[in-house]
Chains A and B, each alone.
Chain A
């Protein structure tokens, strides 16, 4: 069942990826990228919502047992 332990280097890259994936991106940088993002709430795509960057930066209340608030975005 258990596979061999991963090489240390690979594990470290995986760790770094956790942070890079969550790094806040500047609005200008997101606009410069060729992305018209369909925003998702949690992992569920929200096909009707098109991102309007300055209006869609919504805080999600953190907390291990708190229910995530669904961001309110253009198209909702």
Chain B
């Protein structure tokens, strides 16, 4: 079992409570700060809250805000730093929650002003319970192209997320094991579309980007 998150830019439009707020996914200047276009969300309904059993996994609305391997804040960065409130940032909405929104509120993916593929704005977190070797791991979608392969190992050129269409961006080549859940989301219902053998050579590669915190 897993959560799949779709990233969108977010501009804080209203604070409803300690963790609840509403944001615009599009530049509010463009629509005159229309309150009808606000997306209500509870920033406390995260995988970390589910791990702590404060909510059920089916109640997760957004991905956590976390420090990534490069030391930068990643994930949902909108508003996690009261009182230095972050008025603009990213919001990673859970796909099931996204589906409950009215169609006119669902953010475009990729958002306006951003090129690339939709999977470059996506992450997935596998629930920590169960036998799946991906349990508790977070994977981030990247555009990648296989350059060479030996067995399940592949030399792939990986683009930084959201930048695969930019002409000045050079992909990073690396060898990875496409069968290893320690490196990518290898396994049943994987979101990765590239592969060795007859599989597509350019497409989505969900690389590991961290783990959920241990259960308290």
Contacts and interface: CB of A to CB of B under 8 A. Distances in A.
Interface of A: 5-6, 8-9, 11-16, 18-33, 35, 37-40, 42-43, 51, 53-54, 56-68, 71, 73
Interface residues of B, number: 72
Nearest to A6: B29
Contact of B85 (A35, A64, A71): A64
A19 B8 contact: yes
B142 to A, nearest CB: 6
B158 A29 contact: yes
B2 to A, nearest CB: 15
A61 B210 contact: no
Interface of B: 7-10, 15, 17-21, 26-27, 29-30, 43-44, 46-49, 62, 64-77, 79-82, 84-85, 88-90, 110-114, 120-121, 123, 138-140, 142, 158, 160-163, 172, 174, 176, 183, 207-213
A21 B86 CA distance: 13
B172 A62 contact: no
B70 A37 contact: yes
Contact of B121 (A19, A32, A42, A56): A19
A24 B161 contact: yes
A16 B69 contact: no
Contact of A63 (B10, B72, B80): B80
Given A9-B113, A28-B176, 9 more contacts: A12-B113, A18-B10, A22-B77, A26-B209, A27-B208, A27-B210, A57-B209, A59-B64, A66-B19
